[in-house]
Every structure is written in C-alpha cells, then in structure tokens.
Structure 1
Amino acid sequence: MSARRFELSRRGFLTGSLLITAGTVLTTACSTNPGGGSSASTTLNVWYHAYGEAGAQQAALRYAKEFTKANPDIAVKVTWVPGDYSGKLNATLLTDGAPDVFEIGDFSESLARRGQIAAVDDVYGSARSDFNTNAMETVTVDGKLYGVKMVDDVMMLYYRKSALSKAGITPPTTFGELAAAAEALSTRKTKGLFLGNDAVGDSAILSVWSNGGDLVTPDGTVAFGSDGALEALKGLKRLHDDKSLLLGFPTDWWDPSALTQGSVPMQWSGLWAMPAVSSALGDDFGVLPWPAYKTGGSPAVRVGGWTSCVNAKGDHVAEAKKFVQWLWVRQSELQKDFAGSYGLHVPPRTSVAATAEKLSAGPAKEAVALAAKYGKHNPGTWDTAVSSAFNGAAAKIVGGQGDPAAVLADAVKKAQREIDKQLGR
C-alpha cells in the first residue's frame, strides 16, 4: 500500500506517535483514557509512512490494540511519519531512537548486508509456502528472509474504453501501438498519455523489461546497458517528440485524477487507485500491462508494495518478531482488511488473496492476473544511488541530451560502482 492522498498531497497529511497499551490509546498530547494504565514490560515503536488512504492510520492503531490485547506484556507505539519517509527512516536507523519494527517500500538488500534488519525465517513457520513467489524473492538475501511483505502494489496502464473506441483504437499490445495511440488521442485540450510529471515515471524500467532486458542480475551485475535496453530507452523519445505526454498536472501518476477528470484517456497508475477510478468512470475503463516493446517482447507490470522489517540492533528483537508474526503472518482477516479497505492492494499470501472479494471480478481481477503473468519487481540492489544513475540517464536520452549509448554506458559504470559497494567487493 503506497502513500496515496487523492485529496491532499502524496504523503504529508498527519504526523505524531500513538502508544497502544492494553486497553489504552495515548497520543503525544493526551490520553483517551486518562485513568488507564499498562502492565506491559516492553514497548515497541512501530513506524509507518503516512498512508494517504482514509482509514489506514486508524487501522494500524486498531491492529496494534488487538495485538496488545492478545499480548498484554507488549505495548505498541504507532509512529506515523509524513514527508520523506525513507530519508527519515535511514537517518533514524543510525541512532538509538531507531524503531523496533518499520516498513519499507521497494526492499533494499543493503539493510540486511549492513546488519540493520534481522532475518525473520523463524517468523514464517508453516505459512511460508502460502506467500507468493514475488513476495518471497523480494525479501531474500543470501538465502535468508529479511522481512514479511504486507501488501503487493500492482502498477499498470489504465485506459478509457469509450475514448479509444470513439477514435477507432484497439488497446495497444506493442510500444509502437501505444505511442501511435497517445499521439492520435492528443488534442488541443488534452494529451494522450500520463506517465508522471517528470515525463518518465516507471516507463524507463518498463521499457527495459518489455524488450527482454533486465536491470541488475542476481549476482549484482548491472544489466540495463544491453543493446535491447538502449533500443527501448531510445524508443521512449518518440512520446516526447510527438508531444503526446501530459505534463504539469497538479498531482502525479499515483493519483488517477488526470484520467478521471478527462485530461488524458490513458494513464499509468496503481491498483490502489482503482476504487477512485471505478467511482468516477463506472465500467468505462480497462487495464493493460506496459506493452511489449516490439513483437516478440514481453509485456510488463511493476509489482511494488510494503514490507515489515525488524530492527536487528534494537533492544526488543524477539518482541518485534512476535508483532510481525502476529499481524502479517497469522492474522489473515486483518491482512485482507489492510489490503482491501484502504485503497486496493493484493495480499501477498495466496490463500488470503483468493478470498478477497474485491479482487475476484472485473478490472481488479484482470490486474491480479496481469501481475501473476507479467509481474516484475525492482532488484534488491536498486537503491537510491543506483536508480538515480539509471533514471538520470533515461531522462537525458528521452530528452535528446547527448549520445544515448554514451549516456547509458556512463550510468552503467556509476550504478556498478554503487552495487559493488553494497556487496563489499
């Protein structure tokens, strides 16, 4: 579940910490039960980024309260972190104030290699085989598991059925067809496609995957410098040259407003946005993977999400593992609630996903099927430094700045140096 705030900003809508003890909810300012007490001998600090979906914070508090009710010796302080969550988390992990349990977005192997997060193989128990392959691969480092996936976020292409039908355009199955459709659907008042206000969004990564390429190999070798990757990145320039991309929209690609307000007939966004899209458009929308770059290539959808991790250097590792196990392994109903009641997401446990009614029909079911067939996740070595090298090169290539081959080769060298640092070689 990514931080999405359709009414306000992406993340910054609330701050503060709340302490959950047995039957008591305390905020940093006051208590809802001033006369209440606690028999807890341990207090866990659990961090969440400031989810934008209405009700998400209240759900986190409710889960914490239910955990403490079942484990009266462990209180839980829920800390809701707005703004640059990753930056604040990374800085806090270097201090004594680091949280006991925290969530991270795209999983980073470096946290495990630096000894900042604990291996949690023992947390899974017999439920290990119930987690989907993507969720397990994401958190595996050198054969050990370093987190429990909370939700899978599927990202794909939304389109207005009526707009494409009126223009005589069939849903695109290749990048060339997508580019042609975006150009044909652009008018004086609207553009054909919204990828993000940086004009790239996920498209550079998707283009590499859709032309048979990869970002980084399992052994830590940068792979996005291949001929196929270069070809696909150069192809993206067509969208910019055709002036078919929407730019400067008030919100970014994670918010479906550009699609629902009629500014574009096609938009890249996530499954979390589907309730808002459905509310605005009814059944006048469909979903697609990012199309194959060319015939013979492979469509792609990106699967991200959030993972719960345990601070390996904290004072309460055993209690933190108990919390993670209780909530994200054992409580199937709470997992389904978290994935389906605040935006829309896929539970990483296959048995839980199978019982999620909101994913059982229509475009939501199609999105889940697309993820199962074409889903890709960023590699664990894809940290800020590595992704910045790649994204910077992609922006230059699509913007026509410099020789594409030279620009990409330079990015490969930068990224490889950073990955080598991560792997200590």
Structure 2
Amino acid sequence: MSARRAELSRRGFLTGSLLVAAGTVLTSACSTDPTGASGSGAKTTLNVWYHAYGETGTQQAALRYATAFTKAHPDIAVKVTWVPGDYSGKLNATLLTDAAPDVFEIGDFSEGMARRGQLAVLDDVYGTAKTDFNSNAIDSVTVDGKLYGVKMIDDVIMLYYRKSVLAKAGITPPTTFDGLVAAAKALTTSKSKGLFVGNDGIGDSASNAVWSNGGELVSRDGKVGFGTPQALEALTGLRRLHDDKSLLLGFTTDWWDPAALNQGVVPMQWCGLWAMPAVRDALGDDFGVVPWPAFKAGGTPVVRVGGWTSCVNAKSAKIDAAKKFVQWLWVQQADLQKDFAESYGFHVPPRRSVAATTRKLSDGTAKETVTLADRYGKHNPGTWDTAVSSAFNAAAVKIAAGDGDPAALLAEAVKTEGLVGRGAGEVD
C-alpha cells in the first residue's frame, strides 16, 4: 500500500521478528537479535523489515518466502522483522544505528534517502528484467539515472462509479473535470451527495487536479513545481465541487474504504484497487472505474499509483547477500510476486508479464484498472516531502473552500521551496 495508507488503523497489528535459518523457522518476539542462526550452516543472517500489513496471511507469506530463499541459499539466513505502529518513524530512527535492517521496504519512494547514502544502487539486481517493469515502477526509484529500489506491489487508486445510478440519470462516466462537476451536481439529492473524495473534501483531488492540467508538484531538479498558472487554475477549479455542495464530507470512514459507495451513500467515489473485492461483493457488476478526468482539453487523466518498494541499506555489511535476496524474491520469483499481490489483498505486480498472468487481474474491471494505471499512472515525486506536501494540501483546502485569495494562498505554500529535500531523508 502507499505510505499514506500505512497510517490507517487497520495496519496496526502483529509484532515480533522471525528468523529463517536453513529452512527452520525460529521466533524471537520483539527482538532483532539473530538468535538461532548458529549451527544452521548459514554464514550470513539478513534482517529484513516489513511494516505490519493489515491483510491476513501477509506475515506468514513473508516468512514462507524467506524460508524458500534460505532453502535455495543455505549460506544465508533471513530474519523477518514485522514492525507495527509507526513504521516510518521506527525505520528512520533505526537506520541511524547499528541495528539497522539490511533490507527494508518503503512506501512512497524518498529520493533524499538515496542522496544521503542510505540506499544501495540496485541496477545490477534488475538485469534484463528491467524492461519488464512498468514505467512508474522504474521512474519512481530512479535518481540521477540509477535505480535505488525494486517495486514490490503497485496500489492503484481511481474513480469508482455506480453504472445503474449514472445510467438512470442519463450521465456518462466523466472524462473531463467539467463533466465530473456536472455529474456530481446532478447526482446530488436531498438524501445523498454525488461524489466522495475524502472526509476533508480534498483527499488526492488537489494533486490530481494539478497533474490533470499538465502541471507538476515538484520539478525534475527538486524544486516546488506547483507555483504555476496551470496549478492555480486547477486548484481554483476544485472550488466548484464545494460551491455546488456535491461532495460527501465527514463520513464514518474515509476515502480508502468503499463503504460510502457500497452503501449507496454516493454513486461516485475515489478509492483504490484494494477495495474492489468488497465493491464486487456488495454491488456485483454494477460498478465501473475511470481515471480522475483531464482538467480540460490538452490535459491528462490521472490514476494514482502508490505501493511498496524493497530497498537495500547502503551501509549494511551484507550488501551482496541483501541484493541476492531482493533479486531472488522481487525480480526472479514470478509466482511469489503474484501470490503477494493477489492472495492477501488486491494489488498489481509491477512487472508487466507477472501482472498479465495474475488471475484476479486477468479480466473485467480489474484488468481495465491495470491498463489505466499503465497508461495514466502518476506517483508522488521522490522529493515530495512532508513539509512541502503539507503546505500544498493546506493551501488546497483553503482554496477549495473559498477561504482566501487562491493566488496568495498558493504563493505562500510555494515559500516552502527551501524545505524541499531537507526532510527527504525520512520516509513519509
């Protein structure tokens, strides 16, 4: 899941670390000591960190993969450390100590970590498989032409809609922002709203709006990129949804949960692929998906792509073994990549060939989602740190609510320019 989703409460469970040595499972709850490795035949023990995934079976899968790797490489033991709670905070702190993991995952990729010498270059891990990874998976981990991670799963976020409700109202799925505004207004009644993008009325819509109008959040050289006429125009446009009172606000769950759509509270909702099984259970085939529409002619539809990326600690004393593990699991083992993507949630393998053969993604709306992500996918830039993103979103909330002059609000947010990259060594 994206780093943003890592904050959700359904993530906060399970703890402890698990050691796999020569195929033997050893448990050391809440410990990072490689106990049990002696006598196993392993010469090296890798500490591999995962955040506490919420999907049942994910922890067991990570342990099973480690067991299979150790069986294939008896000289390398693997300790799986499952980190509950504030994963990013614990990772950032531990990377500064001797207890730092050899391999770890991160959500939205941080370019600053690479520039600060925390991530090992992984070009040699990809080999000829590089061209099989989708463009977002490669672009998101590339810094100055070098690759600093291997994408494990893509989380795709798009606009769901109820086919029957739109059809009854004579509305076609929106392909432009004008169309989205008109549809949301027309579908709003005294008992329901037309669109749900988040309890704050913004969600991902601010960044989507900028991208859909040809703008960028951060420039290629790491400077604030949203101080442009395109960004101002798009963000100002969001006010139309608020003025029309067509947005659902303050629901019992936020945009990441499909309850509002499934319960008929709204006919359109911004949500992720992970929700599709629940949507299908509730609505059958009475739903479809589209990208966030282009702001206007010349703009580009947007599908948000997040996910998780496997990285190697550049300061590890076991870099060669760590690279071997990452290569084996996330480049070479197509069956395990499929298993991780579809058996414990609903995600997209970043490798095109693997995604094409993943059963749950092979037809219908799920297959359409994969195509949309490959065509219109946008990921948060690696320099999109907390300070700048917070300033941007705060300005967007005020602009959309009509609380101040849009140009002045955006200009104030742009003043965080000097902060770009300063906090990028942290995982958000």
Coarse TM-score class (shorter-chain normalised): over 0.9
CA shift for structure 1 position 270: 1.2
AA paired with 2:376?
Y
**Could you say what secondary structure the match of 2:251 adopts?**
coil
CA shift for structure 1 position 249: 2.4
Distance in 1 (CA, whole Å) between partners of 2:4 and 2:389 is 22
Report 1:64-79 matches (<5 A). Answer: 64-79=66-81
AA paired with 1:10?
R
TM, length-normalised to structure 1: 0.93
AA paired with 2:115?
R
- Indicate how the Cα distance of structure 1 residues 64 and 224 shifts in structure 2: closer, same or farther if over 3 A, else same: same
CA shift for structure 1 position 357: 2.4
- Indicate how the Cα distance of structure 1 residues 2 and 56 shifts in structure 2: closer, same or farther if over 3 A, else same: farther
Q: Structure 1 residues 268-277 or 176-185, which shifts more?
A: 176-185
AA paired with 2:18?
L
Q: Structure 1 residues 56-65 or 247-256, which shifts more?
A: 247-256
CA shift for structure 1 position 2: 4.4
AA paired with 2:27?
T
Q: Deviations over 1:340-361 (max 9, x none)?
A: 2222222111221221222221
Distance in 2 (CA, whole Å) between partners of 1:43 and 1:101 is 11
Which residue does 1:387 correspond to in 2? 389
Alpha carbons 2:113, 2:424 under 8 Å: kept: no
- Percent identity between the two aligned chains: 76
Distance in 2 (CA, whole Å) between partners of 1:13 and 1:247 is 28
Alpha carbons 2:385, 2:421 under 8 Å: kept: no
Gaps of 5+ in 2: 31-35
TM, length-normalised to structure 2: 0.92
**Could you say what secondary structure the match of 2:9 adopts?**
coil
1:236 to 235, 238, 260: 238
CA shift for structure 1 position 3: 7.9
Distance in 2 (CA, whole Å) between partners of 1:86 and 1:420 is 17
Which residue does 2:26 correspond to in 1? 26
Alpha carbons 2:337, 2:349 under 8 Å: kept: yes
AA paired with 1:249?
F
Alpha carbons 2:16, 2:29 under 8 Å: kept: no
Number of residue-to-residue matches in the alignment: 420
**Could you say what secondary structure the match of 1:396 adopts?**
helix
**Could you say what secondary structure the match of 1:10 adopts?**
helix
CA shift for structure 1 position 422: 7.1
- Indicate how the Cα distance of structure 1 residues 239 and 83 shifts in structure 2: closer, same or farther if over 3 A, else same: farther
Which residue does 1:83 correspond to in 2? 85
Distance in 1 (CA, whole Å) between partners of 2:169 and 2:409 is 38
**Could you say what secondary structure the match of 2:11 adopts?**
coil
Which residue does 1:14 correspond to in 2? 14
**Could you say what secondary structure the match of 1:154 adopts?**
strand
Distance in 1 (CA, whole Å) between partners of 2:195 and 2:54 is 24
Q: Deviations over 1:55-106 (max 9, x none)?
A: 2222111111111111122222212222222222112212222211111111
Which residue does 2:33 correspond to in 1? none
Distance in 1 (CA, whole Å) between partners of 2:181 and 2:234 is 13
Distance in 2 (CA, whole Å) between partners of 1:4 and 1:205 is 14
Distance in 2 (CA, whole Å) between partners of 1:231 and 1:274 is 32
Which residue does 1:159 correspond to in 2? 161
Q: Structure 1 residues 280-289 or 310-319, which shifts more?
A: 310-319
**Could you say what secondary structure the match of 2:10 adopts?**
coil
- Indicate how the Cα distance of structure 1 residues 423 and 281 shifts in structure 2: closer, same or farther if over 3 A, else same: closer
Distance in 2 (CA, whole Å) between partners of 1:3 and 1:297 is 27
Which residue does 2:60 correspond to in 1? 58
1:215 aligns with 2:243: no
AA paired with 2:418?
R
Distance in 1 (CA, whole Å) between partners of 2:43 and 2:19 is 14
Report 1:14-413 matches (<5 A). Answer: 14-29=14-29, 38-413=40-415
Distance in 2 (CA, whole Å) between partners of 1:124 and 1:38 is 30
AA paired with 2:222?
G
CA shift for structure 1 position 306: 1.0
Distance in 2 (CA, whole Å) between partners of 1:171 and 1:417 is 41
